Amino acid sequence: MRSALRADAPEVVDTAELLTSELVTNAVLHARTDVEVRVWSHEGHVRVRVDDGRPDRPLVPREPRPYAGAGRGLAVVEELASSHGAHPGEGHKTVWFELWPQAPAPPTSGWESAPVRGRTTTVKLVDVPLVLFRAAQQHGDEMLRELALTTGLEDRAGISRAELVAAADVSGALNACTASALEETVTGGATVTLDVAFPVDAAPAVDTLRHVLEHGDAAAQLGALLTLPAPPHVRGHHQWVLDELATQLAGSAPTAWTLLPGVPDAASAELAPWDAGDLEDSAVPTVAADDAGRIIAANAALGDLLGWQTDELIGRPLTVLIPEHLRERHQAGFTALQLTGRSRIMGRSIPLPGLHRDGSLVPVRLHVQSQEAVDGRTVHVGQFRPRATAPGEERPVPRPGTGASPRLHTGPAAAPRAGDAGAARDWERLSLLADTTSALSSTLDLREGLRRVCHVLTRQLADWCVVDLLDEYGDAERVCVVHREPQALSAGVDLGRLPPVSENARGPLARVLNGAGPLLITDVPPPDQAESALDARQLELFQQLGAGSTIMAPLRARREVLGALIVVRTGHDAPFTEQDALLVADLVQGIALSVDNARLHQHTRTAAERLQRSLLPRLPHIPSMEITARYAPSSTTAQVGGDWFDAFTLPDGDTALVIGDVSGHDLNAAVTMSQLRNMLRGIAVDLQDRPSEVLGRLDLATLTLYPHSTATCAYAVVTGPRDGPWEVHHSSAGHLPLLLTCPNGDTRYLDTASGLLIGVDSGFPRPTARDALPAHSTLLMFTDGLIERPGESLSDAMTRLRRHTAALARAPLDVFCDELILGLGAGSTDDIALLALRPTPPGP
């Protein structure tokens, strides 16, 4: 290369050599064919072309991540090259770049590679946590890369070279498929559902990939590889992805990540990406450390508890919070976590003393979780929950090697001591109330919130927890059962409808659902002593999960019983006491209020949805015309808003089509929308004029009657005899253009008749355009909720819509509309309305 570029500047030659080495390395590792490199230079412009023999292996550009150990090659090319690209050929694939020193870059640049080839099937990955998904993908890539470069692979890791090749191929296919799915999916939240088009012929290699990663991880745990073992949550997520591929390719239904059974860390609240803001806002004393054991964040609650200013802790080793006699054990455990990916304390609540800044000991329960930061780092988050001391625990613990004995901290920030039992109970009560309130407020979904509450209670109060709810008819339903040890539920615990609740029933559960309690039961009877079918069901569950004592409390709000909370300890733990029953009585007040508010919110949404449905028009039946419409309310509002569509027949027999969007997402927007729709109908029927004139009259009426309202609107009139030809006359008031899709897949926007929004200036002239409407073509009118995505330009969004309609050009009109909603609007946070018309001349 240097000889070919000897006439060029040294820095250009160095850059060209670096980028060429990256592309050749990619070809060697991923294509594994002969590689041809061509280099030439002209007037200081350098062009390099790298060919391999695998056109079926598309490039998978990655977003650059600071801590990634693989996947940087294409990012380096993107950053340093003046222009770059890729394209498949007949039996080969070409990847190229150009360097144009001191000259403007060429006009076109970007990776354009072949899609995954062959027959594919859709695999749905439901509720994927994006940060964790990328961390698992990154770790898998690093592992496969090192295995490919390892000599003596079979001896070191028990993997044959043929297995590694098959695993690398299916991993590359999976990366390409998921990258494509992410491009087509809204990713505004922490989780996302992906529809992955996966090649059917790659199914047998999925198990091979699993085998290779498992053996590679085992070798890493033994220190045979430089790559560190996967942390437990990353390992579990990768296994879940491969399980979903294998089971769905075999015909099974998808299972959401957040419902994954048997994995303690599967609660969605715990798997959210790490956010320093969440830590700072938490009332629980919390600290976060990096993989080197250095503190990267701490909140004010931790500072108050252990006597530090939070900014003084940043950058210090985590051991400043750990008593000296425990530091060696901490270092051993932390090192074991780094080297093996396993920990004995991860996800558990461990009682131990924390070290106050003045040298005193503060009794706490330490709860540690690993989370992923957005830049790919693993962050270890520890919560120091204050606890009361047990009898005898106040004895000072001597420091090794000294005669000094650290005292237990007695300052105002310390947790209450055992000598002040009342204060200790108050502290525990407030801590538990705060945690349950936080769990309920962390989601708008009632059942998910109750499940999170049960997780809190099983960590701090009970071994397992149950919530039953009553519906508006008084029927009971078991909505969640959570156990401290998830494997205890592997035998199956029935959820769903419970036997009827009788007003005269005397069993404990029936009494609680009728308003009695809280009931403290320290001697749980066997199932054969049940007094009703309802209590027989409960006692069977007690027996199945080894209940020793229980507290059953009604969820009551506004003098109405909404359900029951049941907390249980097994026979291995100390039974509940009267004090525990009083604590549960306090807890259920807040839980019941949240249940009541959630139900009121749901009733409001239902009423709003019914109102919205009542405002939707009935579409006309027109010979030789298919007309279909869809309305999808926003998932983040009260399901009522200003989007509308309409279709009706004018007195002269022509067909009028309307779509619009009034600003706002509330009841006022819906009322204004209804009034504008009715006004437009009246004007159109009375005037029967060009669409521009109809919109002009509507504009004037809006400014007169509703001077503070604005709206976008598109109005079209389809003309022509029953058997064609047809034309569409249209005008737009600030609305997105109509999209015409021909049967052969050609698409174009009808954007030549745009004007100002309704409600801005009625004197501004409005144009009307006229376009041919071929038989069996599809005319689509839509609102912006269908295509808008955060951070994406409108041009890109409209291009994506054209691709979708082109692929659906010959689909039935109902399928055409449904697939657009599913493919483009599934994650939209805005209302979506669309109206589609297709002229179909009568058959012979």
The residues pairing with 771 across neighbouring beta strands, listed in sequence order, are 728
**The residue count for the chain:** 844
What's CA 130's distance to the chain center, in Å? Answer: 6
pLDDT at residue 406 greater than cutoff 50: no
Residues 171, 281, single domain; the answer is no
pLDDT at residue 130 greater than cutoff 70: yes
Q: What is the pLDDT of residue 604?
A: 67
Residues 632, 529, single domain; the answer is no
Range name among 344-353, 355-364, 436-445 with the lowest pLDDT average: 344-353
Looking up residue 351, the CATH number of its domain turns out to be 3.30.450.20
pLDDT at residue 597 greater than cutoff 90: no
Q: What is the pLDDT of residue 736?
A: 94
Q: Which domain holds residue 333?
A: 276-391
Q: What is the pLDDT of residue 262?
A: 35
> Is residue 405 in a domain?
no
What is the CB neighbour count within 10 angstroms for residue 790?
Answer: 9
Q: Report whether 289 contacts 316 (CB < 8 A).
A: no
Highest mean pLDDT among 94-103, 362-371, 515-524, 810-819 belongs to 810-819
Residues 647, 710, single domain; the answer is yes
Residues 252, 329, single domain; the answer is no
pLDDT tens digit string along 753-762? Answer: 999 998 888 7
Q: Report whether 546 contacts 536 (CB < 8 A).
A: no
> Is residue 223 in a domain?
yes
pLDDT category of residue 264 using cuts at 50, 70 and 90: very low
Residues 641, 562, single domain; the answer is no
Torsion angles phi and psi, residue 704, rounded to 5: -80, -45
> Is residue 53 in a domain?
yes
> Is residue 461 in a domain?
yes
Residues 650, 754, single domain; the answer is yes
What is the CB neighbour count within 10 angstroms for residue 280?
Answer: 14
Q: What is the pLDDT of residue 418?
A: 44
Structural domains of the chain, count: 5
Distances (CA, A) of 389 to 302, 459, 842: 18, 18, 86
> Is residue 414 in a domain?
no
Rounded to whole angstroms, the Cα distance separating 454 from 462 reads 9
pTM given for the model: 0.41
CA angle 438, 440, 441 (to 5 degrees): 65
For residues 500-523, give the mean pLDDT: 80
Q: What is the pLDDT of residue 727?
A: 95
pLDDT category of residue 31 using cuts at 50, 70 and 90: confident
pLDDT tens digit string along 526-575? Answer: 888 777 788 888 888 888 888 888 898 988 887 788 889 999 888 777 88
Taking alpha carbons only, the member of 640, 644, 562 closest to residue 605 is 640
For residues 598-603, give the mean pLDDT: 75
Rounded to whole angstroms, the Cα distance separating 347 from 366 reads 10
Rounded to whole angstroms, the Cα distance separating 741 from 820 reads 13
Distances (CA, A) of 267 to 263, 439, 545: 9, 11, 21
Residues 656, 570, single domain; the answer is no
> Is residue 203 in a domain?
yes
Taking alpha carbons only, the member of 291, 469, 254 closest to residue 380 is 291
pLDDT at residue 176 greater than cutoff 50: yes
What are the strands of the beta sheet with 93-99, ordered from one edge? 36-42, 45-52, 93-99, 83-88
Q: Report whether 659 contacts 781 (CB < 8 A).
A: yes
Q: What is the pLDDT of residue 385?
A: 73
Q: What is the pLDDT of residue 841?
A: 87
pLDDT at residue 261 greater than cutoff 50: no
Residues 679, 807, single domain; the answer is yes
The residue among 360, 391, 422 that closes a domain is 391
Residues 696, 758, single domain; the answer is yes
Rounded to whole angstroms, the Cα distance separating 63 from 82 reads 19
Kind plus residue range of the DSSP H or E element containing 3: none
Rounded to whole angstroms, the Cα distance separating 826 from 150 reads 44
Query: Is pLDDT larger for residue 746 or for residue 216?
Result: 746
Cα torsion 686, 687, 690, 696: sign: negative
Looking up residue 446, the CATH number of its domain turns out to be 3.30.450.40
Residues 359, 473, single domain; the answer is no
Looking up residue 634, the CATH number of its domain turns out to be 3.60.40.10
Rounded to whole angstroms, the Cα distance separating 550 from 584 reads 11
Highest mean pLDDT among 343-347, 497-501, 696-700, 763-767 belongs to 696-700
Residues 582, 513, single domain; the answer is yes
> Is residue 419 in a domain?
no
For residues 212-240, give the mean pLDDT: 81
> Is residue 109 in a domain?
no
Range name among 110-114, 233-237, 293-297, 487-491 with the lowest pLDDT average: 110-114
Residues 54, 147, single domain; the answer is no
pLDDT at residue 52 greater than cutoff 70: yes
Kind plus residue range of the DSSP H or E element containing 533: helix 533-544
The residue among 260, 284, 313 that closes a domain is 260
The residue among 605, 637, 665 that closes a domain is 605
What are the strands of the beta sheet with 738-741, ordered from one edge? 625-632, 832-839, 778-782, 738-741, 747-750
Query: Is pLDDT larger for residue 115 or for residue 382?
Result: 382
For residues 19-27, give the mean pLDDT: 85
Kind plus residue range of the DSSP H or E element containing 788: none
Q: What is the pLDDT of residue 644?
A: 85
